[in-house]
Amino acid sequence: MPEIWLNYGITDVVLDIRAENLQQKIDSDGAILEDSAINEKLNSMDLSKSMDLMVLHNSKSIQKIISSLFTICEQKSLPFPNVLAEKRIMNQIKAGMPEGSSINEFEKNELSNPNLVFLAEMEFDGLFGYETIATRLIRKFGQESMLTAYAKRKGNLPSPGQPTESLEEAKNFSNNFEIQGIEVVANSKGIVDFSIGHPSKTLEISKTLESFAIQDIGKQKSMIISTGKDSSNDTLSKSLGSIWNCTNAMQNGGLAILVAECKGGLGSDALQQFTEDRFPLEKLQNPTQYITGMEDLLFLKEVQKNFQIGLVSILPEFYAKKLNLVTLSGIKDSMDYILKTQGARQKVAVVSDGARVLPR
């Protein structure tokens, strides 16, 4: 019996699946950068100047960049970067930083800071095509621009891995700020590449992500999908991106089961308001105001017309039912549910790094 480990929050859970039920295991690909190559690229920055490193989320690849920067600065007797983050993730990032280093809370007014360098790992995104530093900035700080980006979406279905007008809107928004970014492309094993520069330019590294992430697997009737890392499944809104990535590989009438802890809850105002009966679906088509996560609610309702979605998480069952998701108590229960509803001989595709692969 094959043993497959899937990420679930800060831990991994094991999926026991019979060989005759395993269609294939889908993981991210790509050659990993050696430490020497990482250090060489980071040395291209002027590290003698003060750097305020704004870390937008946590992951192993992000921790690797931070520790490499600190090591270089220590070896050259240069000042360490001043690490910044949102309050909700400060402890996670601090845990992966070198001993004795400090981290401070990021203040919005610091966007005018000329020493500001944003650090994030690129993924796919249903609205923008790619999740980049620029799209993270427009989501956090550009409410009015987000309404325009939402209006420029490619229809009502997610468009991960595709060039979009919405991404151009994010690029234009980031051009309002004299900032720098370190845009990382990684897989489940480590850093594949990264780009340094203004966020409107670093997003061009999306071609590298696309080069190893797209996998032709044919249409699948049953899929079990893990996001691949904690920062991609801390909320339902973030986790749904892995479903969007797999949409083109799902058969009509199929079943996709998302394995995502969602310890941070729903993760968006639109999902929250909808589950509380305060967000009519009619508002999704031509809204006059952007509500955080509107696109996820729109995509969810559209893809559910084609296939069913199950969820293994710690979210209260109340929320899942409101969103028409099949609630499953654990990874074993999800496998049992597939065999019960799809047939004992059902072949299951298992996606272990859903945030960084694009099956089709």
Nearest to 349 by CA among 230, 241, 227, 220: 220
Tell me how far apart the alpha carbons of residues 189 and 31 are, in angstroms, rounded to a whole number.
9
Tell me how far apart the alpha carbons of residues 201 and 22 are, in angstroms, rounded to a whole number.
41
Q: What is the pLDDT of residue 244?
A: 97
Nearest to 224 by CA among 18, 1, 24, 2: 24
DSSP element (H, E) containing 351: strand 348-351
Tokens of 102: 């400090």
Give how far the C-alpha of residue 277 lies from the chain's centroid of Cα atoms, to the nearest Å. 27
Nearest to 125 by CA among 235, 239, 241: 241
Domains 3-28+214-359 and 35-210 are alike in CATH topology: no
Q: What is the pLDDT of residue 3?
A: 82
Residues in the chain, total: 360
Give how far the C-alpha of residue 300 lies from the chain's centroid of Cα atoms, to the nearest Å. 16
Nearest to 78 by CA among 46, 115, 40, 102: 46
Instruction: Render each residue's pLDDT in the chain as its tens digit; 360 residues.
Output: 678 999 999 899 999 899 999 999 999 888 999 999 999 999 999 999 889 999 999 999 999 999 999 999 999 999 999 999 999 889 889 888 888 788 999 877 667 788 999 999 999 999 999 999 999 999 999 999 999 999 999 999 999 999 899 999 999 999 999 999 999 999 989 999 999 999 999 999 999 999 999 999 999 999 999 999 988 999 999 999 999 999 999 999 999 999 999 999 999 999 999 999 999 999 999 999 999 999 999 999 999 999 999 999 999 999 999 999 999 999 999 999 999 999 999 999 999 999 999 998
Name the residue ranges covered by the structural domains of the chain.
3-28+214-359, 35-210
Strand partners, 187: 190
Q: What is the pLDDT of residue 55?
A: 95
Residues 304, 353: contact at Cβ < 8 Å?
Answer: no
Nearest to 209 by CA among 326, 357, 70: 357
Nearest to 247 by CA among 326, 342, 161, 187: 161
Tell me how far apart the alpha carbons of residues 194 and 204 are, in angstroms, rounded to a whole number.
10
For every residue of 282-304, which 3-state class applies, written as one string?
Answer: HHHCCCCCCCCCHHHHHHHHHHC
DSSP state string for 75-142: HTTPPPPEEEE-GGGHHHHHHTSPTT--EEE--GGGGG-TTEEEEEE-EEETTTEEE-HHHHHHHHH-
Q: What is the pLDDT of residue 109?
A: 67
Residues 188, 228: contact at Cβ < 8 Å?
Answer: yes
What is 35-210's CATH topology? Rossmann fold (3.40.50)
Q: What is the pLDDT of residue 107?
A: 78
For domain 3-28+214-359, give its CATH number from 3.90.550.10, 3.40.50.1970, 1.10.3470.10, 3.90.226.30: 3.90.226.30
The end-to-end CA distance of the chain, in Å, is 27
